[in-house]
Amino acid sequence: TQGKPIECLAAIAWEPCKPLDVTTVIVDPPQKGEVRVRIVATALCHTDAYTLGGKDPEGLFPCILGHEAAGVVESVGEGVTSVEKGDHVIPCYMAFCGECSMCTSGKTNLCGSVRAWTGRGVMRGDDKPRFTHKESGKKIFHFMGTSTFSEYTVLHEESVANVDKAAPLDKICLLGCGVTTGIGAVTNTAKVEKGATAAVFGLGTIGLACVDALATVGASRIIAVDTDPGKHARAKEWGATDVINPKDFDKPIQEVITEMTNQDGVGGVDYSFEAIGNVGVMRAALECCHKGWGQCVIIGVAAAGQEISTRPFQLVTGRVWRGTAFGGFKSREDVPKLVKDYMGGKFRVDEYITHTMKLTDINTCFDLLHAGKCLRCVMIA
């Protein structure tokens, strides 16, 4: 037997730019290859705000947002072997099946198993969502294959990482997206080496995780950039060698950084990271890279219709633009290892949590994020 539908609280996004409605939903039992999870803790990432803001070309409404969380398996559907009831798990918006052409390529952490369905807000088995709004009977779409702004959610088995039960769920939820992404952008995507120079644009959770990883790797120069001076102190404390505000200069920030790093008449950093989602800053991040070898890693998610541009000469002369999703980590394989590393104190996690609240306070979390007043708000479901 696969259990019964569960009635619980969830935050429904009925339409873009409207506050979420915390209301009762019915969560269907997991079908073949699916897992139903009781969400214990879920954080708010800027990507949830981006989709709620109507900027995501894949955004579907009504939906249940949320993708940075941790919980406990409540029940599993037929054929599920990698987790069982009671296991502690981290939902992974980046699935990992280990069998598809992308998983076996050795070239990417992207997985093709369930992505088409998660993009359409439904489950693979029957092309339908597992959420129903109790009062209206309306079906509610899933988001990123995770929908963690709910006391219970249903995921594809490919999207569930089984983690150490000793780890605190209210902290390791951050490994479901933000912290993992920043660390991986530095260590997997850019593979920054000791002594390298770097610039990080945007000092929210993702940018700070880049700073933290750069300091651990032993980067010789870490130039941290944010227009909000309130974000500067933490970056400095965590190892940034220089913290700058583009508003303090009357020339483009790429020129400022190139001058700051000038050696023998040529300036620029070995690596740069854009953790904002602003296409103008993405250009600056490329153009502050060193001629001949500088690599710019795009992490930020830009709004529908936005495009990046630069003079092709920037690329002809050896600068490289690349991107990263989930920091290049293969979710179901790597997230359990990251949890162990967290337990071993290898990187910061707890320090990003500026607020802890209840799921019913979710709209306050969005307000804090928009006002730049938080890093991560963790909601205990």
Whether the Cβ atoms of residue 320 and residue 310 lie closer than 8 Å to each other = no
Q: Which of residues 133-192 bind ligand AHE (CB under 6 A)?
A: 177
Considering CB distances under 5 to 8 angstroms, the limit depending on partner class, which of ligand NAD, ligand AHE, Zn ion, none binds residue 276? ligand NAD
| Whether residue 115 lies in the annotated active site | yes
Q: Is 224 in the site for ligand AHE (CB under 6 A)?
A: no
Closest by CA to 185, choosing from 24, 54, 298, is 298
Task: Kindly identify the residues of this chain, within the stretch 316-375, that bind ligand AHE according to CB under 6 A.
Answer: 325-326
Question: Three-state SS for 153?
Answer: strand
User: Nearest approach, Cβ of 182 to ligand AHE (angstroms)?
Assistant: 11
Q: How far is the CB of 342 from ligand NAD (least distance, A)?
A: 17
- Name the binder of 277 from ligand AHE, Zn ion, ligand NAD, none, CB < 5-8 A by kind: ligand NAD
The beta strand positions in 221-303, using DSSP E, are: 221-225, 242-244, 271-274, 295-298
Q: Which of residues 321-350 bind ligand NAD (CB under 6 A)?
A: 324-326
Nearer to ligand AHE, 10 or 144 (CB): 144
Q: Is 88 a catalytic residue?
A: no
Residue of 203, 362, 378, 379 interacting with ligand NAD (CB under 6 A) = 203
Q: In 3-state terms, the chain is what percent helix, strand and coil (to 5)? A: 30, 25, 45
Amino acid at 91: P
92 in active site: no
Nearest residue to 79 (alpha-carbon basis) of 33, 35, 29, 114: 33
Q: Annotated catalytic, 333?
A: no
Catalytic residue selected from 36, 38, 46, 221: 46
Assess contact for 170 and 380: CB atoms under 8 A: yes
* Binding residues for ligand NAD, total number by CB under 6 A: 33
Among residues 8, 63, 92, 111, which one is catalytic?
A: 111
Query: Which of 198-216 are b and which e, b meaning 16 or more Cβ less than 10 Å from the residue's Cβ?
Result: bbbbbbbbbbbbbbbbbbb
Q: How far apart are CA 95 and CA 82, in angstroms?
A: 13
Which residues in the chain belong to E strands, given as ranges? 6-12, 21-27, 34-43, 68-76, 88-91, 131-133, 139-140, 152-156, 160-163, 197-201, 221-225, 242-244, 271-274, 295-298, 320-323, 353-358, 376-380
Beta carbon nearer to ligand AHE, 56 or 270: 56
Provide the binding-site residues for ligand AHE, judged by CB under 6 A: 45, 47, 56-58, 115, 177, 301, 325-326
Residues that bind ligand NAD (CB under 6 A): 45-47, 50, 177-178, 181, 201-207, 225-228, 231, 246, 275-278, 281, 299-301, 324-326, 369, 372
Instruction: List, by residue number, the catalytic residues.
Output: 45-47, 67-68, 97, 100, 103, 111, 115, 177, 376
